[in-house]
Amino acid sequence: MKKIVIALLAVGVVVSMVLVGAIALFTDSETNPTNSFSTGTIDLAIDPATAMFTVTDMAPGDVEYSGILMTNSGSLALRYAGNTTADGTSTLDEQLDLTIDVVTGNGTDAIWYTADDVVGEANIYGPDGVLSSAYIGDPTQGAQAGDRTLDESGGANDNERLRFKVTLPSSTDNSYQGDSCTVSFVFYAEQTANNP
Amino acid sequence: MQLRLWIVLLSLVLVAGLASSGATAYFSDGAQNPNNTLATTVWGNTILLSDGFEGEPWDANWDGNGTTLWERNDTKVHSGLWAACATKSKNGNVTTDDLDALSATKIYVSFWYRAENLEAADLLVQLYNGTTYNTWYDITNHSSYQANTWCHFTEAIIDSQYYKSNFRLRFDAQGFEETGETFYLDDVLITMDQ
């Protein structure tokens, strides 16, 4: 009986090998290699990054100009908004007026940020709004009224120049003598792609 | 049984919330132009130098660190009778004497200037940190700059490397190479907070 079982098993093995040989197929494979994915960047650069105003000895009626170059240094288009961080201990920044214009040329004096600049878009803040509560657009996510857009770095419109005009109104009374304030201008950028 | 049901439901809500917040994330960035200061008074509670070049000798506050080729001029002044002046033939630098700013927490620099026919890098405003002179501004790049008129330069130094007992301010006109290039300097005021 044992011999019969062994014989049957041997026959089974042989039959299996024959069957396996009978269903063999030619095959091939190809690889599409090195598919890569990377994310873009949102990088808003400003120049100067240090204070654009350091003004002393202001008197009623004084006007001070300065400016800032906003550049998209990232690889994705962006929109930005901005506002002022007010001086919490002085009221001078509430008394000072601010006008922000987009300038496209330097006028006749060869200098940006002076009275005769070529203004491309006037009063993106102001005219003569309150310095301490100044804003450009709205940093809330998504496209908001007044937000500024810049193309990706290298694009046709990847930068713009903002002129800041600060005025101490002629109506400023004696209570502001000997006063000073410190403010920061803060800018917020976000992607425009897939972010209506 | 009810408790388990609530736990399962809360977990589902949490997972859905996380998935939802992930779906609305956007790339963003920020930038800041900080510490803009505006004042109706001169800053600094200690005067380090106040000079309109009216005294004798005119460079008494500017001769402790080498004599200057600059001269005093009365043709164009901001105030008083005199201003310091650099031209092609009177170029080089003019440097303050040592100013003790060791206890400073901020240094303020104010001066009036009139630039005629200058090119980029002709006139450099430099600061001395006790070891080297570093260019602070090319005057033609300063926001106050306008040619052929009196301009008011006001800036604060917030870099502590200059808070030294031998702090100096230098005006370097070594770039003056052409006739007509002229720089008038008047009413220099350097103060500090301490």
- The answer to whether residue B17 scores a pLDDT higher than 60 is no
CA pair distance A142, A129, nearest whole angstrom = 25
Instruction: Using pLDDT thresholds of 50, 70 and 90, give the confidence band for residue B156.
Output: confident
User: Are B170 and B191 contacting, i.e. CB atoms less than 8 angstroms apart?
Assistant: no
Sorting pLDDT into bands at 50, 70 and 90, what band is A95? very high
User: Model confidence over B50-72: pLDDT tens digits?
Assistant: 899 999 999 999 999 989 999 99
Under an 8 A CB cutoff, do B154 and A176 touch? no
Regarding an ipTM greater than 0.90, the answer is no
Of B28, B40, B143, the CB nearest to A176: B40
Kindly tell me if the per-residue pLDDT of A20 is higher than 70. Answer: no
What distance in Å separates the CA atoms of residue B132 and residue A114, rounded to the nearest whole number? Answer: 33
| Shortest distance, CA B8 to any CA of chain A (angstroms) | 33
- Which residues, listed in sequence order, are joined to residue B152 by a DSSP beta bridge? B112
Q: Judge if the upstream peptide bond of residue A139 is cis by omega within 30 degrees of 0.
A: no
Judge whether B35 and A184 are in contact, CB under 8 Å.
Answer: yes
Question: What pLDDT, in 10s, does the model give residues A114-163?
Answer: 888 999 999 999 999 999 999 999 999 999 999 999 999 999 999 999 99
Q: B180 near B122, Cβ under 8 Å?
A: no
| Token pair listed for B39 | 């004042």
Three-state secondary structure call for residue A14: helix
pLDDT at A13 over 70: no
Strands B83-86 and B182-193: antiparallel
Q: What is the CATH number of domain A54-191?
A: 2.60.120
Q: Tell me which of A60-69, A150-159, A160-169, B18-27 is least confident.
A: B18-27
Distance of CA A7 to the CA centre of its chain: 81
Contact status, residue A71 vs residue A77, Cβ threshold 8 Å: no
Domain ranges of chain A: 54-191
Would you give the end-to-end CA distance of chain B in angstroms?
A: 71
Give the pLDDT score at B152.
83
pLDDT per residue as tens digits for the range B22-32: 567 899 999 99
DSSP category for residue B64: B
Domain boundaries, chain B: 49-193
Give the mean model confidence (pLDDT) for residues A172-184: 87
What local confidence, expressed as pLDDT, does residue B43 receive? 65
pLDDT of residue B1: 46
Minimum-distance CB partner of A186 among B30, B41, B143: B30
CA distance A81 to A190: 9
State whether CATH 2.60.120.260 applies to domain B49-193: yes
How high is the pLDDT of residue A97?
97
Q: Report the gap between the CA of A110 and the closest CA in chain B (Å).
A: 8
